[in-house]
Amino acid sequence: MTQKYSTFRKYGLQIRQLAYVLNFSAYVNGFGKMAIFGLLLFLSLNSFAQAPQISAGIDSTSIKIGEQIKYQISVEADSTALVVFPEGATFNPLEVVESLATDTSRIENRFRLLKEYYLTQFDSGSYTIPQQRVLINERPFLTDSFQVEVADVVVDTTKQKMFPIKPAMDVPSGFQIPNWIWWVLGILIIAGIAFFFIRRKKKRDAAIKQLPPYERALFELEQLDKSHLLENRQTKEYYSKLTEAVRRYIEDEVHLRAMESTTSELIHFLELKKETGELKLSDQTITDLQVILQRADLAKFANSKPDIITAKEDRSKIEHVIIDTKAAIPEPTEEELLKDEEYRQLQLKKKRKKKILTISLSGLVLIFIIGTVLVNTNGYTYLVDLFGGNPTKELLDGEWIQSEYGDPSVSIVTPRVLKRGEIDMPNEAKEMLVGNETFIDGNLEEELYVVLSTVRFQEDVKFELNTAVDGVYANLEKKGAKNIITKDEEYTTLEGVEGVKVFGTLEMEIPKKDRSINKKYIILNFAVNGGFQQITVIYNEQDAYADEIANRIINSVEFEKPTS
């Protein structure tokens, strides 16, 4: 149902109100009233022609529980109109399953907007979809409401197959990674990135510090040339770095407190070294250094700004001072060289220990991250099996063997070859047989136990497959099984051979371990080629790999085609 009729009524009401006003104005003559009325009528009809048209509908008024209704809202409006469709819980008591994107099409000079919703309800009864509010240019328009009937789904329980009631069992909760682990992991990653950049900077600074004093001083002068401090008129910073380079060199190489001394004190110490013969510096070198240090003091403390040419000349003179100082230092004695070598070896040991510690911590963090990812994607059991090993997983991933066993023969694929064995059988039963063969792999105490038995009866013996199936339970109890949950169903191999599948769970006593283990079992029973064939697979209930092995064994069963 559309909104255009209500829109027409609204505009008709406005026209009648305008006519009333015209009739009330007595001072306007008849011709004037008719002209104004006609003009207003034209404007009103023109507005009506451009008014938006809204319609809503559903594809069905009766559904079953859980089925979906398609609800459509169609709006025809001017191309410049702003249309806002309802969203959220406006369809209560029905639930919105999906809200599709708006479909837009053009009709002459107008747009047609189609919005579709899929609604449902999971309780039977009669429900009303309320009116929906559509905003067009911030003006509200209401759709019609709809009545919907939701019917029950009839279930015939008399035709359902009944199974024995299972005893109460503890269900282990699935493994979940706590949220705090993700927070810790995120913090560790951020800390690792920050540590990487900080350590890289420290390594770069340490590499510079580990250079010999002479090479380090020349390197600092090269870095000063690349700093563009002079081009940016940063004279104070330039002279600070320049004098710092030469002072550090003198302190490390000449062993004077050059970094803490004033200019006059430093020059005085150098002159004393020269007079005692410990340093063979020329007077010109000491004078050049004094002049540069005094100029640097003025630049740093008196806001003096030497020109660029002077600053570059000072930089060149400082390099010559460093070179001359290196040449003026006497050669170290053998004792001094040994001390230096001992100190260097000690530093290398410390550095090696620190590197080993860093690599160890990084390895632990990496192992934690990898372990967390593996547990999150594959589960905790996968991680344990990957590093700790799992016998059934190794069987599943190993090389499988296809062989034929017994008479009449049964072909089966197993992870290990079945070995010939024997089963207990009453003498009365043996008298009815022509022959019987049994092949076994494993035992009931292990993770996987596989048995294949074939029996051939005498010609006058009538064999009932259902009777043999009933004996399965007695045989399981005889082997120590208890709390047996049984199910049976018809089974057909890939070749179309029909049989009976007995399966379920049981609790097996393990005397050696003084405890019991919950196990699953699958037993296939066939009466093919004048004999009876039985394939039994028993495995641990919580072992997913064993479950996969069992199903693969069962699905591989094939029989020898009877000879014509």
Averaged pLDDT, 463-488: 73
Q: Looking up tokens 């979809």, which residue turns up? A: 129
Residue 51: its pLDDT value, please? 78
pLDDT at 73 over 80: yes
Which are the contacts of 510, defined by CB distance < 8 A and separation ≥ 6?
445, 516, 517
pLDDT at 284 over 70: yes
Residue 527: its pLDDT value, please? 83
Domain spans, the chain: 53-151, 211-328, 336-387, 391-559
The DSSP output letter for 480 is T
Higher pLDDT, 469 or 64: 64
Name the CA radius of gyration of the chain, rounded.
48
Question: Among residues 65, 64, 61, which one has the least CA distance to residue 129?
Answer: 61
Note whether 53-151 and 391-559 share their fold. no
Geometric angle at alpha carbon 75, from 71 and 80, rounded to 5°: 145
CB atoms closer than 10 angstroms to residue 221: 19
Q: 505 - beta bridge partners?
A: 485, 520
Averaged pLDDT, 115-120: 92
CB atoms closer than 10 angstroms to residue 192: 14
Six-digit token string for 41: 């009528």
State the burial class of residue 98 (Cβ atoms within 10 Å of its Cβ: 0-12, 13-18, 19+). Answer: exposed
Is residue 181 helix, strand or coil? helix
Q: How far apart are CA 397 and CA 378, in angstroms?
A: 17
Geometric angle at alpha carbon 248, from 246 and 252, rounded to 5°: 120
Residue 292: its pLDDT value, please? 92
Averaged pLDDT, 305-334: 86
Return the CATH architecture of domain 53-151.
Sandwich (2.60)
Rounded percentage of the chain residues whose pLDDT exceeds 90: 16
Question: Among residues 294, 276, 278, which one has the least CA distance to residue 331?
Answer: 278
Residue 336: its pLDDT value, please? 63
pLDDT at 460 over 80: no
Averaged pLDDT, 312-321: 91
pLDDT at 330 over 80: no
Q: pLDDT category, 20, cuts 50, 70, 90? A: very low
Edge-first strand listing for the sheet containing 125-129: 62-64, 146-151, 125-129
Q: pLDDT category, 38, cuts 50, 70, 90? A: very low
Geometric angle at alpha carbon 484, from 541 and 508, rounded to 5°: 55
Classify 391-559 by CATH class: alpha beta
Q: How far apart are CA 259 and CA 244, in angstroms?
A: 7
Q: pLDDT category, 279, cuts 50, 70, 90? A: confident
State the burial class of residue 558 (Cβ atoms within 10 Å of its Cβ: 0-12, 13-18, 19+). Answer: middle
DSSP calls for 61-125? SEEETT-EEEEEEEEEEETT--EE---SGGGTTSEEEEEPPPEEEEETTEEEEEEEEEEE-SS-E
CA 141, distance to chain mean position in Å, is 45
pTM: 0.39
The one-letter amino acid at 60: S
Q: Which range, 203-212, 235-244, 477-486, 528-537, is most confident?
A: 235-244
Higher pLDDT, 13 or 112: 112
Residues 33 and 86 sit within 8 Å (Cβ to Cβ): no
Residue 313: its pLDDT value, please? 92
Q: 451 - beta bridge partners?
A: 440, 536
Dihedral angle, C-alpha 63, 65, 68, 69, nearest 10 °? 40
pLDDT at 12 over 60: no
pLDDT in tens, 496-525: 888 888 898 888 877 666 778 888 999 998
pLDDT in tens, 234-247: 889 999 999 999 99
Higher pLDDT, 204 or 61: 61
DSSP calls for 144-171? --EEEEEEPPP--GGGSPP-PPPPP-PP
Residues 14 and 24 sit within 8 Å (Cβ to Cβ): no
pLDDT in tens, 540-558: 888 888 889 999 999 999 8
Long-range contact pairs involving 285-289 (C-beta distance under 8 Å, separation at least 24): 285/320, 285/321, 285/324, 285/325, 285/328, 288/317, 288/320, 288/321, 289/246, 289/317, 289/318, 289/321
Residue 147: its pLDDT value, please? 92
Residue 481: its pLDDT value, please? 81
Residue 6: its pLDDT value, please? 39
How high does pLDDT run on average in the chain?
79
Q: Which range, 56-60, 207-211, 249-253, 273-277, is most confident?
A: 56-60
Q: pLDDT category, 28, cuts 50, 70, 90? A: very low
Q: 114 - beta bridge partners?
A: 74, 103
pLDDT at 434 over 90: no
Residue 260: its pLDDT value, please? 86
pLDDT at 562 over 60: no
pLDDT in tens, 354-410: 889 888 888 888 887 777 776 776 666 666 666 666 788 888 888 898 888 887 788
Rounded percentage of the chain residues whose pLDDT exceeds 70: 75
Q: How far apart are CA 421 and CA 418, in angstroms?
A: 9
pLDDT at 442 over 70: yes
Residue 173: its pLDDT value, please? 58
Q: How far apart are CA 242 and CA 227, in angstroms?
A: 12
Edge-first strand listing for the sheet containing 401-405: 401-405, 410-414, 558-559
pLDDT in tens, 397-429: 888 988 888 877 888 999 999 988 876 665 666
CA atoms within 13 A on the CB side of 237: 10
Q: pLDDT category, 69, cuts 50, 70, 90? A: very high
Residue 317: its pLDDT value, please? 92
pLDDT at 117 over 90: yes
